[in-house]
Amino acid sequence: MSWTSGDIPDLTARVAVVTGANAGLGLESAKALAGAGAHVVMAARDQDRARAARGEIVAAHPGASLEMVELDLGSLESARTAAAVIAGTHPTVDILINNAGLMALPERRTADGFEMQFGVNHLGHWVLTAGVVPSLLAAEAARVVTVTSTAHHFGRRVDPDNPNLEGTYTPWKGYGRSKLANYHFALGLQREFERRELPARSLVAHPGLSNTNLQTHTMDQGGGGLGGAVSLALATRTGMTAARGALPQLRAATDPAARGGQMYAPRFINTGAPVRRPILRRLGLRRAIETLWEVSERMTGVALDFDMAPPSAS
């Protein structure tokens, strides 16, 4: 039988953080987690849309336990502040879904001068994750789920000598690279957990082709070109609903049988039930992860400090 949100176990007393919880996959993930009893921290940039999303979740689940935290992943200061608020409020965090992202935008820069897609899709999540590491490691068996895309297959690993793609940027090149960074981040984080024998787990998920606001936002921002138009048309006509598209990340975050280092995705690449998929692109994986770590630390000034774990978690 296919896995559905009805298979999510009881999450009462668990704390889940979802980035981009104001719309699309993030909203559907927050709704499903809240429906299973979790206290959901909705981390989003647009607080007006987050309030509307909160109303939608409460309408579906009147007893939902929700909290809104402002998070602009295009600002390191905002990511640090959001992480501090979450970690300061919640001594333990059981689930972190790094979901928010941008796709194939024209060349732009974040508040800190980074290439926008790499900055938002990866670097902002890097800083947020680093800030909540103590709360993740204080939980009994926390899970970090990072959302990638089938676009990671055509992405190239980050170039330490040109991390902002100066002079070589194209919208889809930037997107593929950022989604490969998400993939490498998830697998690298699991290696760090395993190396230190820590209780947390890191998994990767991709939603396939889902009809969300992602494609529309890309076109509204003047990005994507012909590929963006095709993506929008396919998502509108044949894409899965946001609720179905969110199932791989929800399964990765909650299925008791899921293990660290695994990837969950639609059965038929871009559509279908959420299933475990093989980890590909292993050639050069270790070096790619090491490079991503070095570049991420250098660009953000933030390291993932696992020594911040409480004594009981070590």
Active site residues: 175
Q: Return d(Cα 243, Cα 59) in angstroms, integer.
A: 16
Residue 56: how many other CB atoms lie within 10 Å: 15
Query: Sign of the C-alpha dihedral, residues 28, 33, 36, 40?
Result: negative
H, E, C per residue of 223-243:
CCHHHHHHHHHHHHHHCECHH
Strands (E), the chain: 15-19, 39-44, 65-70, 95-98, 143-147, 201-205, 263-266, 274-277
Q: Return d(Cα 66, Cα 191) in angstroms, integer.
A: 32
Q: Return d(Cα 169, Cα 115) in angstroms, integer.
A: 9
Contact 21, 40 (CB under 8 A): yes
Q: Please, what's the b/e burial string for 212-248 (b: 16 or more CB within 10 A of its CB; e: otherwise)?
A: bbbbebbbebebbeeebeebbeebeeebbebbbbbbb
Q: What's phi and psi for 151, nearest 5 deg?
A: -65, -15
Helix ranges (DSSP H) in 99-170: 116-118, 124-138
- Quickly tell me which residue has 């647009």 as its tokens: 46
Residue 273, CA distances (Å) to 100, 244, 277, 287 in order: 22, 8, 11, 33
